[in-house]
Structure 1
Amino acid sequence: MGHVNNASYLKWVQDAVLSHWRKFAPEEAVTAHLWVALKHEITYRKPTFLDDEVIATVLLEKVQGARAFYATVIRRGEEVLAEVKSSWCCIDAATLRPARLATSVVERFFRPAA
């Protein structure tokens, strides 16, 4: 039918969340931590087609222990195509074990825009 499949939505969410992380986290935190998706809950609003140009907007809702909870909205222009709630586990890159982020790192994501 020309629609994208679930894998496309998940790839967009992953790319958006990791881009958000790299934008706000200090370089040493980006190097020291990896992220693993634990859960994605997708609400489809309108079909998305193979040639569509989409934008994914990300909001970090909260950080709890080693987990981060994101809301992502995927749009084609002004049309909302899908809304995604996802949870992620922060992993220490050296030990590959779950890791809590330092408060100073988490605070960078919740500062008001200047």
Structure 2
Amino acid sequence: MQIFEKTTTVSKEDLDQLNHVNNVRYVQWVQDIAEQHWLQNATEAILNDFFWVLLAHHIEYKGQAVLGDLLKLKTFVSKSEGITSIRHVEIFNIATNKLICTSETKWCFMNRSTKKPTRIPEEVAILFD
């Protein structure tokens, strides 16, 4: 299983009225890291022929992040079969190494020309092993 990581620092724009990271921002970070992982691994030919759509999203908040916190976002694909893939995201506070958020998303693989679900080919599945 291949893990993709990035870091981000909590900015004022990430905060809600309680001065901690807004729940919507975590959802955005989950989507952003999934897209970045896909774009890093997929070839131009694959990107031209296929895309993903989100089918289901489960997020669990285990802590909070505040202005200035340095966060590590980790993502990996745990399962790809048929037309769907399961992706996990974990967000940690780097200073405390505390897990503050987890997410599991289910994605559907789509053919760009037909706009219909299509079986995930081996060449795509192995990109995330």
Q: TM-score, normalised by structure 2?
A: 0.76
Asked if 1 retains the 8 angstrom alpha-carbon contact of 2:76 and 2:128, the reply is no
Is 1:81 the counterpart of 2:103? The answer is no
Equivalent residues of 1:25, 1:105 under 8 A apart: yes
Aligned residues: CA RMSD: 1.6
* Residue 8 of structure 2: aligned partner: none
SS class of match (1:43): strand
SS of the residue 1:54 aligns to: strand
Matches within 5 A, 1:1-114: 1-77=18-94, 78-110=97-129
1:24 & 1:60 partners in 2: Cα distance? 12
CA distance, structure 2, for counterparts of residue 94 and residue 105 of structure 1: 17
Runs of 5+ consecutive residues of structure 2 not aligned to the other structure: 1-17
Give 1:61 shift.
0.3
Runs of 4+ off more than 6 Å? none
3-state DSSP of counterpart to 1:61: strand
Contact 1:62 1:68 in 2 (8 A): yes
Identity %: 28
AA aligned opposite 2:98: E
Map Cα deviations across residues 55-112 of structure 1 (whole Å, 9 max, x no partner). Answer: 31001001121111011101221221101111111111222111222112212221xx
Structure 1: unaligned runs, 5 residues or longer: none
The Cα shift of 1:35 comes to 1.4
* CA distance in 2 between partners of 1:6 and 1:98 (Å): 30
Q: CA deviation at 1:26?
A: 2.1
Structure 1 residue 50: deviation in Å? 5.0
Q: Max radius of gyration: which structure?
A: 2
Q: In 1, distance between residues paired with 2:46 and 2:102?
A: 28
What secondary structure sits across from 1:18 in the alignment?
helix
